[in-house]
């Protein structure tokens, strides 16, 4: 019966042999892939997916741009408008009621 140390030595030898066989097979596979790429005129860019940064694009749904919201506020000096969403413009000041556009004027 084999001892514990003998079994560990056999395990190490087997793992080394496994790694050596893996290296040889991988080299053969890589060479085969390179040959196929050369035969078909492919590059790495054709094979590997392109990495994109940022958020992924939306999937499905409508691709049309959102319609602009109607203006609620109007700066009479410059003619600039604001829909009431997002960051308030500086010209609105502390009393935004004075810049409100009348409801009947927008309809």
As given in the structure block, the two tokens for residue 3 are 């001892």
User: Model pTM?
Assistant: 0.40
Residue 106, pLDDT > 80, answer no
Does one domain contain both 8 and 43?
A: yes
Q: Is residue 58 part of a domain?
A: no
How confident is the model over 1-40, as pLDDT tens digits? Answer: 789 999 999 999 999 999 999 999 999 999 999 999 999 9
Q: What is the pLDDT of residue 96?
A: 85
- The encoded tokens of residue 21 equal 């066989």
Place 61 in a pLDDT band, splitting at 50, 70 and 90. Answer: low
CB 91, CB 78: distance < 8 Å? yes
Per the CB < 8 A criterion, the answer to whether 82 and 90 are in contact is no
pLDDT at position 57 over 90: no
pLDDT given for residue 40 in this prediction:
92
pLDDT in the model for residue 55: 77
Q: Which domain holds residue 98?
A: 73-106
The answer to whether residue 34 is domain-embedded is yes
Instruction: Count structural domains, the chain.
Output: 2
More confident residue, 29 or 96: 29
**Does the residue 28 lie in any domain?**
yes
Find residue 82's DSSP bridge partners. Answer: 73
């Amino acid at each position: 019966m084999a001892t514990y140390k003998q079994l560990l030595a056999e395990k190490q030898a087997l793992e080394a042999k496994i790694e050596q066989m893996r290296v040889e097979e991988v080299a053969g596979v890589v060479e085969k892939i390179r040959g196929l790429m050369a035969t078909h005129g492919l590059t790495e860019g054709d094979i590997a997916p392109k990495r994109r940064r940022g958020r992924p694009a939306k999937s499905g749904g409508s691709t049309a741009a959102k319609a602009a919201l109607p203006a609620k506020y109007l700066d009479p000096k410059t003619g600039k408008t604001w829909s009431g969403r997002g960051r308030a413009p500086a010209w609105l000041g502390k009393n935004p009621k004075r810049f409100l556009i009348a409801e009947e004027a927008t309809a």
